[in-house]
Chains A and B, each alone.
Chain A
Amino acid sequence: MYRVFIANSFSYEAQYRADTWIKLLTNFLWVGMLLLTIEIVFQFTSGLGGWSKEQVYLMTVFWIMADELFVAFFSPGLSNLSTTISQGDLDVFLTKPVSALFLVSCKLFLMRAFYRFVTQLLILGFLVYQYDFALSWWHALVTGALLIIAVSVDYSRVLIANIFAFWFERIENVNDAIGMISGIGRYPLDIFPRTIKILTFTLVPIAFSAYVPTATLTGKWPWYAIAYAFIFAAFLFTCAVLFWNYAVRRYSSASS
Chain B
Amino acid sequence: MKKYWQLFKTWLGRTLIYRARVVIWFCTDIIQFAVMPFIWLSVYGSRVSIGGYSKTGIITYYAVGAFISTVASSHIASIIRKEINQGSLNKYLVKPVSFLFSECIHKFSFKVVSTLLILILGAGVAVCFPSLWAFPQSPITILLFCLSVLFSLAIAQILQLIIGVSAIWLGEVTALSQVHRILSSVFSGELAPLTFFPLFFQTLAGALPFFYMTYFPIQIFLEKIPFNQIGWYFLGALAWVAGLGGLLFLMWKRALKHYDGSSM
Given contacts A177-B24, A177-B27, A192-B38, contact A37 B175 (CB under 8 A): no
Q: Quick check: is B101 within 8 A (CB to CB) of the other chain?
A: no
**A142-192 at interface with B (beta carbon < 8 Å):** 164, 168-171, 173-174, 176-177, 180-181, 183-184, 187, 191-192
CA distance A30 to B174 in the complex (A): 14
Partner of B174, one of A23, A29, A33, A192: A23
- CB-CB under 8 A from B179, the residues of chain A are 26, 29
Q: How many residues of A contact B (CB 8 A)?
A: 33
Q: Quick check: is B199 within 8 A (CB to CB) of the other chain?
A: no
Interface pairs A-B: 3 shortest CB-CB: A191-B42, A22-B175, A168-B20
Q: Quick check: is B197 within 8 A (CB to CB) of the other chain?
A: yes
Given contacts A26-B178, A33-B182, contact A177 B28 (CB under 8 A): yes
- The answer to whether B185 touches A180, judged by C-beta atoms less than 8 angstroms apart, is no
- CB-CB under 8 A from A44, the residues of chain B are 43, 50-51, 196
Q: Which residues of A approach B to under 8 Å, CB–CB?
A: 16, 19, 22-23, 26, 29-30, 33, 36-37, 40-41, 43-45, 48-49, 164, 168-171, 173-174, 176-177, 180-181, 183-184, 187, 191-192
- CB-CB under 8 A from A191, the residues of chain B are 38-39, 41-42
In chain B, what residue has the closest Cβ to A48? B42
In chain A, what residue has the closest Cβ to B183? A29
- The answer to whether A26 touches B182, judged by C-beta atoms less than 8 angstroms apart, is yes
Q: Which residues of B approach A to under 8 Å, CB–CB?
A: 18, 20-21, 24-25, 27-28, 31-32, 35, 38-43, 45, 50-51, 172, 174-175, 178-179, 182, 185-186, 191-192, 196-197
**In the complex, what's the smallest C-beta–C-beta distance from A42 to chain B, in angstroms?**
9
- The answer to whether A26 touches B172, judged by C-beta atoms less than 8 angstroms apart, is no
- CB-CB under 8 A from A36, the residues of chain B are 186, 191
**In the complex, what's the smallest C-beta–C-beta distance from A46 to chain B, in angstroms?**
10
- The answer to whether A180 touches B32, judged by C-beta atoms less than 8 angstroms apart, is yes
In chain B, what residue has the closest Cβ to A192? B38
CA distance A16 to B170 in the complex (A): 12
Given contacts A26-B182, A29-B182, A33-B182, contact A173 B21 (CB under 8 A): yes
- The answer to whether A173 touches B178, judged by C-beta atoms less than 8 angstroms apart, is no
CA distance A184 to B45 in the complex (A): 21
- CB-CB under 8 A from B38, the residues of chain A are 187, 191-192
In the complex, 14 of the A-B residue pairs with CB atoms within 8 angstroms, ordered by the A residue number, are A19-B172, A19-B175, A29-B179, A33-B182, A33-B186, A40-B191, A45-B43, A48-B39, A48-B43, A164-B20, A168-B20, A171-B20, A176-B25, A180-B28
In chain B, what residue has the closest Cβ to A168? B20
Given contacts A16-B172, A22-B175, contact A40 B39 (CB under 8 A): no
In chain A, what residue has the closest Cβ to B170? A19
Given contacts A170-B18, A171-B24, A180-B32, contact A41 B182 (CB under 8 A): no
In chain B, what residue has the closest Cβ to A171? B20
- The answer to whether A184 touches B28, judged by C-beta atoms less than 8 angstroms apart, is no
- The answer to whether A33 touches B24, judged by C-beta atoms less than 8 angstroms apart, is no
Given contacts A23-B178, A48-B42, A173-B28, contact A37 B192 (CB under 8 A): yes
- CB-CB under 8 A from B174, the residues of chain A are 19, 23
Looking at A36, A40, A183, A192, the one whose CB has the most chain B CB atoms below 10 A away is A40
- CB-CB under 8 A from A164, the residues of chain B are 20
- CB-CB under 8 A from B178, the residues of chain A are 23, 26, 29-30
Partner of B175, one of A26, A40, A43: A26
- The answer to whether B31 touches A181, judged by C-beta atoms less than 8 angstroms apart, is yes
**In the complex, what's the smallest C-beta–C-beta distance from A100 to chain B, in angstroms?**
24
- CB-CB under 8 A from A176, the residues of chain B are 24-25, 28
- The answer to whether A30 touches B28, judged by C-beta atoms less than 8 angstroms apart, is no
**In the complex, what's the smallest C-beta–C-beta distance from B1 to chain A, in angstroms?**
29
CA distance A18 to B45 in the complex (A): 48
